[in-house]
Chains A and B, each alone.
Chain A
């Protein structure tokens, strides 16, 4: 039988059972949509976590805390870290400092609010997007966020940032003076005492989205930060002395961190902790995949049962017609091919429908992510992955064929004499 005619009959049979075709397709489309969007979402989250968040220096940095006076341990740690090829940089960590801007009247439009910055020691991994980087010998320079917002009550979360963020580039070349205070712990309530000022010139800006930083976090030279820290300690009255010390090290890739841990732990019993942890987002992809798979499987099971029965019903209704084809001399394999093609067509329709729907959904979700979610989530980029497309294609062809089996068995048993029985 000529292929063209198969398609001709199949096409017309599908037109005739339009409503059934639509309802079968809808069930399959639902299953495929849950499956594909689940896989897309899970893999987008995974991609974001692994290719972006975990690649940012903040998440590649680990801390080792040890007793300050244990120079032996400190030297051993330095030895190990210097030998490890995956460790890019290591140093004794100087604690970050927060303070208010003294010359805010010159820098910002008048407002009631104080302007706050938080200092980190610049390391080689900070990527400057405009301006210059901080080199080893620089003094009194700083890299500020491109997305600049000096409110210490604010924290980047899931939601889009306020629209009064400033452009850090406008501050390049300007000098910012900070005031820090030491604390008098000798009597309660504690008092801020002995203010000290620090001035730095803005030489570049970085992207807080890429570095996973807050919009008021500024990088200054390591030595500057250490000086501020030591100076403030000197000016502090009372309080307990910090006996701990911390070595920070940055690895080239989070996946290589474990090797470094193992080496350190096997040689020295010291705790290692990541500088930043992700919490729920890290496992969210996995959860979505599990929940989505369960839903997909349930929908697929419903589809299998539902479509099987209604296909069988459809074939029974066509008993006379199929009997007539047999009376005309159609062989079982020709009838089987015809029915399979009908099923396959439903599968293809469903696949096309669900792929277009998912593509549209992905477009809308990506737009929402870009326009409604925070800068640190803009690397969450949904896409239709090839593997999910392959799985969807397999399912969209398998469901109709599997559910066609009952009807097919029935059709093959129909006797040509059925055609003669009047309706």
Chain B
């Protein structure tokens, strides 16, 4: 099976610091966990794979298309169409209700019909077991619920890959379990999920586990 994202010998240099060193990686379907200590380069790697940042050297392919050949708008299009992002801080719009937050990425998706956007947002919240919270504002939701809204938002345009950077960083153990099991579910439906964390508990959900040390990635069998 062909890889959704392929990285070939990518590096990222900040001044004289090499945050990611000559790294190669293929991401297909399933739950990928990248573990590593703080400062090991996890976020840097995720940014490059998610087309949020450029690699200093090496090549990244999205479905065999070379990223360094893409214009900014093409990258923006891939981020909209193929990727969903979940972050440690949920970054929900405080004055929009849960379902309205989920609608935001769909506004710019030309493939979706205007009439369907709202319904789709509500469906995604049901999927995240938040059907009864869809009309709540973020401050009326718990951290775990907010993160599930963020996951629903990441799923809005039916992406093939979800990137999550420390998604459980702000959650208690109970919420953490719920959020991770949802991410696991997603990965079992033919999508890629890439979770970056230093939380050991995430490992039990993983299909593939990687360890990052000082910019070097190593897969754990």
- Chain A residues at the B interface, C-beta cutoff of 8 Å: 1-2, 4-5, 8-9, 12-13, 15-16, 320-321, 324-331, 334, 415-417, 419-420, 422-423
B80 within 8 A of A: yes
For window 24-60 of B, CB contacts with A under 8 Å fall at: 43, 46-47, 50, 52-53
> In chain A, what residue has the closest Cβ to B84?
A328
Partner of A1, one of B72, B85, B91, B108: B108
Partner of B50, one of A4, A5, A327: A327
> In chain B, what residue has the closest Cβ to A334?
B108
> In chain B, what residue has the closest Cβ to A416?
B52
Tell which of A16, A325, A329, A417 has the most Cβ of chain B within 10 Å.
A329
Known A-B contacts A1-B107, A329-B76, A330-B76; the reply to A423 vs B89 at CB < 8 A is yes
Instruction: State the CA gap A13–B100 with chains docked (Å).
Output: 13
Instruction: State the CA gap A330–B79 with chains docked (Å).
Output: 9
Give 9 A-B pairs besides A328-B79, A329-B105 with Cβ atoms closer than 8 angstroms: A1-B107, A8-B100, A327-B85, A328-B108, A334-B108, A419-B87, A420-B46, A420-B85, A420-B165
B91 contacts A419, CB within 8 Å? Answer: yes
Known A-B contacts A16-B94, A415-B53; the reply to A420 vs B108 at CB < 8 A is no
B104 contacts A320, CB within 8 Å? Answer: no
B165 contacts A329, CB within 8 Å? Answer: no
Residues in B with CB closer than 8 Å to A5 are: 103, 107
B81 within 8 A of A: yes
Q: Lowest 3 A-B CB distances belong to which pairs? A: A329-B80, A329-B79, A5-B107
B181 within 8 A of A: no
B220 within 8 A of A: no
Residues in B with CB closer than 8 Å to A15 are: 95
> In chain A, what residue has the closest Cβ to B170?
A422
Q: How near does chain B come to A22, taking the closest CB pair, in angstroms?
A: 15
Instruction: State the CA gap A320–B50 with chains docked (Å).
Output: 17
> In chain B, what residue has the closest Cβ to A321?
B91
Residues in A with CB closer than 8 Å to B47 are: 417, 420
Residues in A with CB closer than 8 Å to B80 are: 328-330
B91 contacts A320, CB within 8 Å? Answer: yes
Instruction: State the CA gap A283–B88 with chains docked (Å).
Output: 68
**Binary flags per residue of B160-197, CB closer than 8 Å to A gives 1, else 0:** 00000110010000000000000000000000000000
Known A-B contacts A4-B114, A422-B89; the reply to A328 vs B43 at CB < 8 A is no
Q: How near does chain B come to A18, taking the closest CB pair, in angstroms?
A: 9
For window 81-115 of B, CB contacts with A under 8 Å fall at: 81, 85, 87-89, 91, 93-96, 100, 103-105, 107-108, 114
Q: How near does chain B come to A294, taking the closest CB pair, in angstroms?
A: 40
Instruction: State the CA gap A9–B89 with chains docked (Å).
Output: 20
Instruction: State the CA gap A334–B105 with chains docked (Å).
Output: 12
> In chain B, what residue has the closest Cβ to A8?
B100
